[in-house]
């Protein structure tokens, strides 16, 4: 049983060590341009050691800045460090709409924009991850790499993470959207998933219209004996839920 994050988990605390967020630009052979991502480095960040990396994805209405705008990830993570509840990690906030104009504008459901959320798999694996691992002191073992996201980004995390278990051992989906592949396509080899996953997390608000996607995935995983966390929490398709999810997911990572 997982209860809501403690009061104040996403409120700024004075006089604690802070991480830092910077914007990076990487050359994407997949999209054919330069793309931006945000990178959070933890309090006490040092090039004298290496860090695991979490790739944290946005929803259909967002871009690489969406978590910063609405999710207070820096505050949530800094507070978790202050409380000694989290492993030091780098968090990368990519833009998951892998197309030349990746702004969240116009009709967000246009087929070419939905397709761009699929194309992101190549951008991530072939362009962004190599860039991050060449510029930051990262631990490149598969069990030191995580992917998670909200809604469209939750679907991406399941689709990309579970079909690339050679790259990711930690996968989290917060309120995954209809881009999520059918369960038997997501996890065609349950025994392999069982042996390779360190954590598979699925969460959704009980007032979210998309919750059936999570329930169907959870039920399949349970039938197939794939260990996972299924967390149904109170709330809708909204930021209080995703902030709470980040808190709970981040403190379980890389342990």
Q: Kindly list the residues in this chain that would bind ligand FER in the complex (CB under 6 A).
A: 59-61, 114, 151-152, 177-179
User: Closest approach of Cβ 61 to ligand FER, in Å?
Assistant: 6
**CA nearest to 216, candidates 183, 167, 193:** 183
Q: Which one, 59 or 94, has the nearer CB to ligand FER?
A: 59
CB atoms within 10 A of CB 191: 11
CB of 156 to ligand FER, least distance (A): 10
Instruction: Locate 23 and state its tokens.
Output: 């914007």
- Please identify, using beta-carbon distances, which residue of 83 and 105 lies nearer to ligand FER: 105
Least distance to ligand FER, CB of residue 214, Å: 13
Burial class (CB in 10 A: 0-12, 13-18, 19+), 98: buried
- DSSP three-state, residue 21: strand
CB of 49 to ligand FER, least distance (A): 35
Q: Between the CA of residue 86 and those of 46, 68, 213, 221, what are the distances in Å?
A: 17, 19, 29, 27
Least gap, CB of 37 to ligand FER (angstroms)? 18
Compute the least distance from the CB of residue 194 to ligand FER, in Å. Answer: 29
Of the pair 113, 252, the CB lying nearest ligand FER is at: 113
As measured in angstroms, the least distance from the Cβ of 246 to ligand FER is: 15
Nearer Cβ to ligand FER, position 179 or 244?
A: 179
Q: Crossing angle of helices 239-252/73-82, nearest 10°?
A: 40
220-228's contacts with Cβ under 8 Å and 24+ in sequence apart are 220/183, 220/184, 220/186, 220/187, 221/183, 221/187, 221/190, 224/187, 224/190, 225/190, 225/194, 226/187, 226/190, 226/193, 226/194, 226/197, 226/200, 227/194, 227/197, 227/200, 228/197, 228/200, 228/201, 228/202
Nearer to ligand FER, 60 or 124 (CB): 60
In this structure, the strands spanning 145-150 and 170-174 are parallel
Question: Of the two residues 65 and 114, which places its CB atom closer to ligand FER in the complex?
Answer: 114
179 or 203: whose CB is closer to ligand FER?
Answer: 179
Q: What is the DSSP letter of 151?
A: T
């Amino acid at each position: 049983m997982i209860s809501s994050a403690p009061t104040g988990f996403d409120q700024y605390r004075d006089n604690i060590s802070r991480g830092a967020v910077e914007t990076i630009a990487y050359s994407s052979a997949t999209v054919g341009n330069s793309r931006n991502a945000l990178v959070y480095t933890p309090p006490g960040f040092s090039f004298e050691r290496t860090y695991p990396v979490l790739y944290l994805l946005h929803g259909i209405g967002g871009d690489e800045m969406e978590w910063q705008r609405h999710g207070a990830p820096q505050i949530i993570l800094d507070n978790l460090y202050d409380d000694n509840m989290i492993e030091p990690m780098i968090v990368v906030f990519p833009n998951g709409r892998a197309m030349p104009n990746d702004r969240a504008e116009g009709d967000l459901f246009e087929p070419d924009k939905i397709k761009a959320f699929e194309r992101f798999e190549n951008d991530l694996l072939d362009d962004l991850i190599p860039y991050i691992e060449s510029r930051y002191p990262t631990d490149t073992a598969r069990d030191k790499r995580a992917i998670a996201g909200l809604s469209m980004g939750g679907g991406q995390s399941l689709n990309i993470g579970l079909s690339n278990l050679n790259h990711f051992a930690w996968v989290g989906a917060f309120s995954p959207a209809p881009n999520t592949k059918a369960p038997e396509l997501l996890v065609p080899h349950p025994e392999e998933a069982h042996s390779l996953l360190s954590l598979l997390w699925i969460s959704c608000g009980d007032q979210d219209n998309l919750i059936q996607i999570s329930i169907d995935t959870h039920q399949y995983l349970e039938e197939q004996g794939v260990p996972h966390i299924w967390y149904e929490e109170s709330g809708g398709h909204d930021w209080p839920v995703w902030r709470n999810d980040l808190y709970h997911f981040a403190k379980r990572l890389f342990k």
